[in-house]
Structure 1
């Protein structure tokens, strides 16, 4: 606040691109408890509502000549189904509803975060870490239940020379437990970086000399972020399929 006042007095430009990621209580107040409804809660709820509207209400009146909502729903269904089948195998199709839910939630959360005055929920590690941990725990439990101690074959590279296998096993074990970290940081980092850059260019748009360049930069960045919003959801989902494949077929 002091820096903003100083900037206003001196006529300088002061903006804080990271302020857009601050979680705030939706109904006022400064204290956030576990039960407090925040701006993050609101926009995650809107993402869930958007998924329901498209996949349930949008396809409730199915017809041979599909409506727009039905076409989008069928396109998303076919896209994710083929991804699961191609990457993980036909025996993983039973897990398609879970993968489909993840994909749709992340896609809608990313796109809703691009709306003016919205909140990008997937820019927060608290959100992406929960999603990544759910995937990590699910595939680990699945692998142990399905294969027992045979699941440890995932860490034993039998094709490597015998002397190197213990070293490779340690490396594989470390990389396995790092998965939820990389899985979550990739999504949150890309979303946060894009929104921060857009905010920076928006701040420069207030300067008359730089304004035309800033507007062009914002337009280009916004178009790129629309693409990133889909790509990051795709990457998160396809990595989920890869991890699921490891749980179903753990041997190297």
Structure 2
């Protein structure tokens, strides 16, 4: 009985608070905005709970990212010419950029894994930039997406390390150049840092994008106040420009860390 009463009281309090917020917003006496609402996963069709097979806003924007990549890398380069079109130039620039990154970090041995790394880079770049469009959804701001990407890299390089080097892959954790007394301690540190890789790899990408989009939303809320709207608008423009830079940098950081992990798998010796 007490539980039912408490539940009813909580519902009434929530309804009152919601009505007060709405009335305050309508009256202009306060500002009500929720910067984290933009990260809510919602069904694309209808309402209700999100299940395993529910088509959501995340599904839509993941699909759009794939379509955009296909449009640039396949359709945009279908008519290859000596004097390239804009789309062909962008595709060739991206190809050359990632190819040089893989070669510089992993060496010639890592180039056979270039298609995977190129796909990873292009997906993150397009997902990040599509998330900057008005009314869009930033899929890479969700840990459910970035953790899958990071785990895929972690498992791939770990399996590859054992396949290529056998038990010799364990030399990655044994710092032979250090004094013998310190090697066991350093081995423990190396093992911990190795298994923390997918955590830091995923949090860095999602955390930076989530924080930036939340700040933009906060400034957008303050833009409704006449007294501070000019400052808020300038702040929004500045933050938006910064987020464009962050969108590319985070894709680059995620990709180059993947190359570093791949290098460790191919050449594990310190």
Same fold (TM over 0.5): yes
SS at match of 2:196: helix
Runs (5+) with no aligned partner, structure 2: 1-13
| TM superposition shift of 1:242 | 0.2
In the alignment, the residues of structure 2 paired with residue 220 and residue 54 of structure 1 have an alpha-carbon distance, to the nearest angstrom, of 28
Residue 119 of structure 1 corresponds to which residue in structure 2?
A: 137
Residue 72 of structure 2 corresponds to which residue in structure 1?
A: 54
1:94 aligns with 2:108: no
Runs (5+) with no aligned partner, structure 1: none
Residue 151 of structure 1 corresponds to which residue in structure 2?
A: 169
| TM superposition shift of 1:28 | 1.5
Task: Give the alignment's Cα RMSD to 1 decimal.
Answer: 0.9
* Alignment deviations for residues 8-56 of structure 1 (CA, whole Å, 9 cap, x no partner): 3233101110000000000022211111000001001100110000000
SS at match of 1:12: coil
Match of 2:42 among 24, 27, 31: 24
1:64 aligns with 2:82: yes
Match of 1:213 among 224, 231, 236: 231
Residue 185 of structure 1 corresponds to which residue in structure 2?
A: 203
| TM superposition shift of 1:157 | 0.2
In the alignment, the residues of structure 2 paired with residue 98 and residue 221 of structure 1 have an alpha-carbon distance, to the nearest angstrom, of 32
| TM superposition shift of 1:154 | 0.2
- In the superposition, relative to structure 1, how do residues 97 and 78 fare at CA in structure 2: closer, same or farther (>3 Å)? same
User: Across the two proteins, how many residue pairs are aligned to each other?
Assistant: 252
Match of 1:166 among 172, 184, 188: 184
In the alignment, the residues of structure 1 paired with residue 208 and residue 19 of structure 2 have an alpha-carbon distance, to the nearest angstrom, of 31
Report if the CA contact (8 A) 1:205-1:214 is conserved.
Answer: yes
Q: Equivalent residues in 2 for 1:226-237 (5 A)?
A: 226-237=244-255
In the alignment, the residues of structure 2 paired with residue 5 and residue 230 of structure 1 have an alpha-carbon distance, to the nearest angstrom, of 42
SS at match of 2:198: helix
Residue 7 of structure 1 corresponds to which residue in structure 2?
A: 21
In the alignment, the residues of structure 2 paired with residue 73 and residue 79 of structure 1 have an alpha-carbon distance, to the nearest angstrom, of 10
SS at match of 2:42: coil
**TM superposition score normalised by structure 1:** 0.98
Residue 129 of structure 1 corresponds to which residue in structure 2?
A: 147
In the alignment, the residues of structure 2 paired with residue 63 and residue 222 of structure 1 have an alpha-carbon distance, to the nearest angstrom, of 35
User: Which has the larger Rg?
Assistant: 2
Residue 78 of structure 1 corresponds to which residue in structure 2?
A: 96
- In the superposition, relative to structure 1, how do residues 195 and 4 fare at CA in structure 2: closer, same or farther (>3 Å)? farther
Residue 195 of structure 1 corresponds to which residue in structure 2?
A: 213
Moved more, 200-209 or 23-32: 23-32
**TM superposition score normalised by structure 2:** 0.92
| TM superposition shift of 1:5 | 3.1
